[in-house]
Chains A and B, each alone.
Chain A
C-alpha cells in the first residue's frame, strides 16, 4: 500500500479555491449578521408576556433545532421555487442559514437575558426608562458579553455547516472542491486543502469576533474581568 499525493495538480486550481473560500466567508458573514438580529428578536419575543408571540418564537426555535440543516435548506430552496419565486442559490443559502442560526442564537441570547440580575432591570425601571430602552441600554450588551464565547462558536459552526449549501449548487468552498476533485481525480488532496482552508476561515472569524469584542465591551478591554 502506498500513498501518493499530487498537490500541484490540485493547487493549480487555487483561484477557484480562493473564490469558494471567499463565498463561504460571505455566506457566513451575512447569515451571522442577519441570524444575530433574528435570534435576538426571537429571544426577546420568547420573553414577552404576549402568549401568541412567545409561542410563535418557541415553535420557530424548536422546529429549527430539531430538523437537519440540509432539510431546512431544501425546504427554503424548493419552497421558494414552488411559490414561483426565483432567487440565486446564494440568496437561498443566506436565507436558510439565517433561519437556522437564528434559532440557536435565540436560545443562547435567552440564556444571556436570564443572566441579567433582576435588580438591574428594577433600577432601570426606577429611572423611568422604557422597556425598549432597558433592553437596548441595560440588557443587550451585558447579555451578549456573558454569552459571547457560546455565540461566536455558534457562528463559526454555522460557517463550517455552510458546506452543505453545496447541495443547492451555491459555489462555496465545498462545492468548488467537489468540482475540482471530479476534474482532477485527486479527491484526497483536494479535501486536505479544503480542510486547511476551513481552519483558516475559522481562525479569521475568531480573530474578527475577538476584535468586535474589544469594540463592544470597553469595560472588559480596560479591566479584563468577566461581567
Chain B
C-alpha cells in the first residue's frame, strides 16, 4: 500500500481501523488521511467496506480498534463529543433522508436554529443562500415529495451545507437516482470541490471519481488495496483494481 502523506494537518485520518459485524470482519486495518481541500473517493465492490469506513468517520459505526481523528475529534474514543463532531462533519446519504413533514426551507433551517441557536431570520437567509448554491431557490417552500430525486438530493446537500461543515461525506449519493438525474447532483458536488470543500465520497461513478477526486482509495475485503491519484483508475497496479475498473465500472 502506498501512502501520499498530506502536507498539512489532515482533516480526517484513519489509522489501522478495525470493525466487525459479528464474525464478519468489515474493516481490517484501514488507514487513510484527507487533507484540507482534498477530495477523496472511496471505491470498491459491494461489501468491500467502503461505506462502513465512511460511516465510521461520522461515528455512525463504532470501531473495534484503531484511531480516527476528524477535525481534532478522537472519533474512536467512547467519550467523543458527538454533537461537536457532527457540527464539523456534513453527511449526505443515498436515500436523501429529507424530513418529509417539513418544507425545504424548514429542513435547512432546523439544525442551524436548534443546534447553533441561529435566529430564524438569519437562518432563512442562509437557506436561500445554500439553495442558490444547489440551484433550487424556487423550491424553498415546497415539500420534499414535490421534488424529483435529483432535486431532493441537492436539497439534502444544501441542508448539510447550512451547518457550514469542515468536511462533507457523501455515501453513494447518486445510487438511488435515474441516470438522467445523476448529472445534476454530480455537478453540485463538482462545484463544491471547485470551491475548496474537503470531501470524502463513496461512489460507483468511476468516470466522476476520475474527474473530481484528488485521490482514490480502492478497498477490497476490508483493506485499502490500492491508493493513489485518479490516474490509478486508468493504470491500476493490482489485479483486483484492474479487474474492478475493467468490468464496465469505468464510465466516462
Q: Is the CB of B86 within 8 A of A128?
A: yes
Interface size on B, residues (CB 8 A): 30
Chain B 83-106 per-residue mask, 1 if CB under 8 angstroms from chain A, else 0? 110110111010101111111000
The residues in B between 201 and 247 inclusive whose CB is less than 8 angstroms from any CB of A are: none
Stretch of A52-60, A117-125, A162-170, A197-205 at the chain-chain interface: A117-125
The residues in B between 98 and 131 inclusive whose CB is less than 8 angstroms from any CB of A are: 98-103, 110-111, 114-115
CB < 8 Å neighbour of A122 from B84, B93, B115: B93
Is A129 in contact with chain B by the CB < 8 A criterion? yes
Is A15 in contact with chain B by the CB < 8 A criterion? no
CB < 8 Å neighbour of A128 from B83, B99, B159: B83
Answer whether A217 and B101 are a contact pair too, CB < 8 Å, given A128-B163, A223-B146.
Answer: yes
Closest CB-CB distance, B233 to chain A, in whole Å? Answer: 29
Is A145 in contact with chain B by the CB < 8 A criterion? yes
- Per the bound structure, the CA–CA distance linking A141 and B114 in Å amounts to 17
Give the nearest-CB partner of A216 in chain B.
B101
The residues in A between 91 and 122 inclusive whose CB is less than 8 angstroms from any CB of B are: 117, 119-120, 122
The residues in A between 176 and 227 inclusive whose CB is less than 8 angstroms from any CB of B are: 217, 219, 222-223, 225, 227
* CB-defined A-B contacts under 8 Å, sample of 17: A119-B93, A119-B97, A120-B97, A120-B99, A122-B97, A123-B93, A123-B97, A123-B99, A125-B86, A126-B89, A126-B93, A127-B115, A127-B159, A129-B111, A129-B115, A133-B115, A222-B143
Q: Is the CB of A223 within 8 A of B101?
A: no
Q: Is the CB of A119 within 8 A of B163?
A: no
Answer whether A219 and B93 are a contact pair too, CB < 8 Å, given A127-B111, A137-B114.
Answer: no
- Per the bound structure, the CA–CA distance linking A117 and B145 in Å amounts to 15
Q: Is the CB of B97 within 8 A of A128?
A: no
Q: Is the CB of B93 within 8 A of A145?
A: no
Q: Is the CB of B83 within 8 A of A223?
A: no
Closest CB-CB distance, A139 to chain B, in whole Å? Answer: 10
Give the nearest-CB partner of A125 in chain B.
B86
Q: Is the CB of B101 within 8 A of A219?
A: yes
Closest CB-CB distance, B215 to chain A, in whole Å? Answer: 24
Contacts of B60 in A (CB 8 A): 122, 125-126
Chain A residues close to B by CB (< 8 Å): 117, 119-120, 122-130, 133, 137-138, 141-142, 145, 217, 219, 222-223, 225, 227
Closest CB-CB distance, B6 to chain A, in whole Å? Answer: 25
Q: Is the CB of A126 within 8 A of B115?
A: no
Is B76 in contact with chain A by the CB < 8 A criterion? no
- Per the bound structure, the CA–CA distance linking A117 and B99 in Å amounts to 10
- Per the bound structure, the CA–CA distance linking A225 and B89 in Å amounts to 34
- Per the bound structure, the CA–CA distance linking A145 and B84 in Å amounts to 32
- Per the bound structure, the CA–CA distance linking A129 and B102 in Å amounts to 16
Q: Is the CB of B114 within 8 A of A129?
A: yes
- Per the bound structure, the CA–CA distance linking A225 and B100 in Å amounts to 11
Q: Is the CB of A126 within 8 A of B143?
A: no
Contacts of B95 in A (CB 8 A): 119
Closest CB-CB distance, A2 to chain B, in whole Å? Answer: 60
Contacts of B38 in A (CB 8 A): none
CB < 8 Å neighbour of B110 from A120, A137, A142, A217: A137
- Per the bound structure, the CA–CA distance linking A12 and B90 in Å amounts to 71
Contacts of A128 in B (CB 8 A): 82-84, 86-87, 111, 115, 163
Closest CB-CB distance, A39 to chain B, in whole Å? Answer: 20
Closest CB-CB distance, B249 to chain A, in whole Å? Answer: 26
- Per the bound structure, the CA–CA distance linking A120 and B110 in Å amounts to 13
- Per the bound structure, the CA–CA distance linking A124 and B100 in Å amounts to 12
- Per the bound structure, the CA–CA distance linking A189 and B34 in Å amounts to 82
Is B172 in contact with chain A by the CB < 8 A criterion? no
Give the nearest-CB partner of B143 in chain A.
A219
Contacts of A119 in B (CB 8 A): 93, 95, 97
Answer whether A126 and B86 are a contact pair too, CB < 8 Å, given A119-B93, A119-B95, A223-B146.
Answer: yes
Answer whether A127 and B110 are a contact pair too, CB < 8 Å, given A122-B60, A122-B93.
Answer: yes
Q: Is the CB of B86 within 8 A of A127?
A: yes
